[in-house]
Amino acid sequence: MSDSALLTSLAFALHFSLQVLLIMRVLLKPHRDPTARLSWVIVIIALPIGGIIAYILFGETNIGRRRAERMRRVLEQMPSVQAAPGVNAPSVAPQIPEPYAHLFLVGQSISGFAPIGGNQASIPEDSNAVIDALVADIDAATEHVHLSFYIWLPDNNGCKVAASLIRAAERGLTCRAMADDLGSRAMIRSAHWKAMAAAGVKLVRALPIGNPILRVLGGRIDLRNHRKIVVIDDWITYCGSQNCADPEFRNKAKFAPWIDMMIRFEGPIARQNQHLFASDWMAHVNDDVDALLRRPLRDPKPGIGAPSGTPQATAPQISAQVVGTGPTVRFSAMPELFEALIYSARRELVITTPYYVPDESMQAALCASARRGVATSIVFPRRNDSWIVAAASRSYYADLLAAGVRIYEYVGGLLHTKSLTLDGEISLVGSANMDRRSFELNYENNILFHAPELTRQVRQRQQRYLDSALLVDPDEVANWPRHRRLFNNTVAILGPVL
């Protein structure tokens, strides 16, 4: 055998051995559903070189050994929110009817936060009103401002928030701001970032990428901090889908406007978001925030309203719970919560999400909801900024429609709101989409709450989306051309990979 033939044989044997080892790793990897295993096996076999590279880069949820260890140490050392003085006071006792108590047990099993009462909330009218309310709250702050966004753009709204942080720091407040290193790269590289640092704002780049080639050695580059958290004076907090940017979202202007919903809360629930922010912050920088978490919880005082220019807050009867998920949190935490909510619906279930790539159990839960007589509606954007997700989402339409789920496609921009309302009493809002990226790869934050009045307001906002959406016709979906169905279904099969 010639030298070249021998080298070829050795290369083939090495490549084949590597394929076999990776396939064994796929099959032995814990917490991977059969569909995901099959998808990766197909990719590794069908793409002899590209499949191996793809699995090495994206096949496992690996945030890096050093980073994971630091996060573990931070969480172990942090004080429990439940142990904070005042947490068990009668004024913050949650008021949750027995039929819904199990939902909050699911949430507590994920993040360790029990539901807490004594909260007020309001929903600003639109994205610009959210920024105006946020800036007003920062300008009125007396102690500290903590802020974390996945996308923070140096546009009109993004600069408004940056300027308010500078003003707060200059008058002596402690300001901490965190932005995802990928999603907020434009702001991080801008003069506004430097100006905030010069004014004394403490800044952190979440999950820094650094050298992309070397970054791969320290964990997956596409694991991102997708959370949107604001905590002001340990009493005011915001939660929802909105990034720190104009609704025109100029880096993806052709899909604009981005349609979001953010809820402004006042009360003890802010401490739970504070805890979530602190865990992210201290996992990146040596700046101990534990002292804030050990302070006695303030006693709710009825009658505190929203700042000037925002809707009046509801009465302090909101029982709420923060649910934070991510790649270092229990596997399938977010799907468990979604499915628990879906199966608990008895009369009406309304969901809005821009990205829908479910696992089999979640798809089955939605179909079962409609089949047992629950008025089940789900709203997607008609034009999605991700053609891959749009195709995968539409592969699920036929089964949902056959079960009786009413599917709507919003036409007034990119509907980015992630919301769920249940029987007019329970709501879930936050950053998590109903897709595998939110389930397995992104750090997400949500608030689950029982509050009929606030849920009514969320449902009214959902109705605005429904009124600006087109009802999907089952006959039209049934008559989609074969090539379209083939494309959608092929993309969906690769969903666990993509």
**Catalytic annotation present for 31:** no
Within 10 Å of residue 90's Cβ, how many Cβ atoms?
8
Choosing from 192, 418, 435, 450, which is the catalytic residue? 418
Alpha carbons 490 and 46: distance in angstroms, whole number? 14
Structure tokens at 287: 């700046």
**Catalytic annotation present for 418:** yes
Choosing from 126, 139, 233, 385, which is the catalytic residue? 233
Tell the burial category of 120 from Cβ atoms under 10 Å away from its Cβ (0-12, 13-18, 19+).
Answer: buried
> Hunting for tokens 């490549």 — which residue is that?
15
Structure tokens at 432: 């998590």
Structure tokens at 6: 């021998």
Structure tokens at 347: 């009369």
Choosing from 146, 160, 228, 275, which is the catalytic residue? 228
Beta bridge partners of 264: 122, 238
User: Contact, 363 vs 106, CB < 8 A?
Assistant: no
Structure tokens at 128: 């610009």
Within 10 Å of residue 104's Cβ, how many Cβ atoms?
23
**Catalytic annotation present for 228:** yes
Alpha carbons 341 and 327: distance in angstroms, whole number? 22
Choosing from 146, 226, 275, 284, which is the catalytic residue? 226
> Hunting for tokens 């849920």 — which residue is that?
455
Residue of 265, 259, 309 whose CA lies nearest to 129? 309
Residue of 224, 226, 239 whose CA lies nearest to 273? 239
Alpha carbons 383 and 393: distance in angstroms, whole number? 12
Choosing from 146, 160, 192, 416, which is the catalytic residue? 416
Radius of gyration in angstroms for the set of CA atoms belonging to the chain, rounded to a whole number: 23
What's the angle, vertex CA 286, arms to CA 235 and CA 267, rounded to 5? 10
Residue of 404, 407, 338 whose CA lies nearest to 372? 404
Tell the burial category of 214 from Cβ atoms under 10 Å away from its Cβ (0-12, 13-18, 19+).
Answer: exposed
User: Contact, 324 vs 239, CB < 8 A?
Assistant: no
**Catalytic annotation present for 202:** no
Tell the burial category of 167 from Cβ atoms under 10 Å away from its Cβ (0-12, 13-18, 19+).
Answer: middle
DSSP state of 178: E
Alpha carbons 229 and 445: distance in angstroms, whole number? 8
Structure tokens at 403: 């079960």
Alpha carbons 12 and 158: distance in angstroms, whole number? 53
**Catalytic annotation present for 126:** no
Residues serving a catalytic function are 226, 228, 233, 416, 418, 423
